[in-house]
Amino acid sequence: MSIQRFPHDSTAAGGGPPYSKAVRAGDLYFLAGQVGVDALGRLAEGGIAAEARQTIENIDAVLASLGLGLEDVVKATVWLTDPADFDTFNAVYRTYFGAELPARACVRAELMGPYRVEIEVIAAARQEK
């Protein structure tokens, strides 16, 4: 099986985080966990709903850079810092994934940094027709 790594642009230049934004192994793409920060590193303001939206937008952007979309996600793992955010998070999550929901795990955890949510996903490569 071939493995292809997709480093962060800043990592490729010698700085940035010490992990790849995504790794392709066979027909699966494994995305690094995403949090609710914009391209400048600013945390989304407005609580869990705003952070969840930004986090999923970040996932969508990484997927798009790989020629994929949210519809290609087969598994999501979600970490929330506060179980009280679960229902609000789910409402936002559903607006992005709709009826074609991927498999998912969701747990409560303390996250590194001031984040309320982190999500990592596994996506399937699109099959050539």
Of residues 29, 101, 94, the one with CA closest to residue 62: 29
Domains of the chain: 34-119 (3.30.1330.40)
Question: Of these residues, 28, 32, 106, 111, which one is catalytic?
Answer: 106
pLDDT in tens, the chain (129 residues): 789 888 877 645 556 678 889 999 999 999 999 999 998 889 999 999 999 999 999 999 999 999 999 999 999 999 999 999 999 999 999 999 988 899 999 999 999 999 999 999 999 998 765
pLDDT at 1: 78
pLDDT at 77: 98
How far apart CA 68 and CA 12 sit, in angstroms, is 22
Q: How far is CA 92 from the centre of its chain?
A: 14
Query: Contact 119/59 with Cβ under 8 angstroms?
Result: yes
How far apart CA 120 and CA 106 sit, in angstroms, is 11
Residue 106 annotated as catalytic: yes
pTM for this model (two decimals): 0.92
